[in-house]
A and B are shown apart, each in its own frame.
Chain A
Amino acid sequence: MTGVPTDPEANEHSLRVESAVVVGVDGSPGSSEALHWAIAEARLRNAPLRAVHAWTYFEPAVPPLLGYPYSAESVDSIVDDRRQAAGQMLERATTELASVHDIEIERVIGEGSAAQVLIDAVGHEDLLVVGSRGHGGFANLLLGSVSQQCALHASCPVVIVRGTKPADAREEVS
């Protein structure tokens, strides 16, 4: 457990459980700041860094009169597209930073609600890092629902990175 590096017992513990810094990434400016924070923290702790991105498949709404126009194959291909897009998004958000900081970033994509995927992605020994606000919700919310859910339900310490940029400043994530 790198959380208490001076405790000899904790050091023994780290031989059994490797604690990681886990960061939620959704491509928003807020998650970009969380990623920067997580990179610095992972270096400080000398811990592995894992970037997690959640994606969901929403079935398009179809008027009942039209019947169900999707075959199993076409749904599969939509799901595949979404999964692929999620992977590409996560790669875009992390690749450059990983090379700039010369740090290895493990990428994980999970299907489901962001809070659920993040909570499932961490163990007791990890550190979960999220932005205070991501893509969802209103621009003037102080705390997004995902960071709130993580703070309430994650099994490990949670860092909520308060963005330094205005919440409504949407920009491309490097």
Chain B
Amino acid sequence: MYPQLPEGAKEHDQEHGSEREVEETVGCGRRGDKSVGSKAALRWALAEARLRNSLVRAVHAWTFGYIGGSVEGYPYWGGSIGSYTSLGVDLNDLHRAAEGLLERAIADVGTEAEGIEIERQVVQGPAAQVLVQAASPRDLLVV
């Protein structure tokens, strides 16, 4: 894919088979919330993946608000993850909702995704940290 690269760039060349493009889909915790910017980034990543004959890894990070203590007059909910359920919140539901959001974001770009292998990654955590961890030195991170 990189024709005749000199010494300095050889490593890119050899690793090219494993090259992945990573795309962030920005969600704000609301169902179906997708930014215009992340859609443009997904389109860009797909076009680039087509050029490089590589796969796209679409990454969506989601977080749920802090409920580890007594805040703003609300009672203490306990510090463990298990306490989410005392709010009537099932984390698995939230995770599935996040997966759905990513799926819709991919569906939205329609035919542009045709023929491109897209790996989905939905992770609970801060977006920047999740994205940095999702990309390795040989990847191209698109935001």
Taking beta carbons and an 8 Å cutoff, which residues of A are in contact with B?
3-7, 32-33, 36-37, 40, 43-45, 97, 100-101, 157, 159, 162, 164-165, 174
Which of B42-50, B60-68, B96-104 faces chain A?
A: B42-50
- For chain B, give the interface size range: 20 to 34
Which 4 residue pairs spanning A and B have beta carbons closest together?
A36-B9, A40-B2, A44-B51, A4-B47
Query: Are B137 and A36 within 8 A (Cβ)?
Result: no
Q: Mark B78-108, 1 if CB is under 8 A from A, else 0.
A: 0000000000000000000000000000000
Whether the Cβ atoms of A36 and B8 lie closer than 8 Å is yes
Tell me which residues across on chain B come within 8 A of A4, comparing CB atoms: 43-44, 47, 112
Beyond A7-B112, A45-B51, A101-B4: 12 further Cβ-contacts under 8 Å?
A4-B112, A5-B50, A6-B50, A6-B111, A33-B8, A36-B9, A36-B12, A40-B2, A40-B5, A40-B12, A157-B44, A162-B137
Q: Is B36 an interface residue (CB 8 A)?
A: no
Q: Is the CB of A44 within 8 A of B47?
A: no
Q: Is the CB of B9 within 8 A of A6?
A: no
Give the distance in Å from the alpha carbon of A174 to the alpha carbon of B111 in the complex: 43
Which residue in A3, A7, A37, A44 is a CB contact (below 8 Å) of B9? A37
Chain A residues within an 8 Å CB radius of B47: 3-6
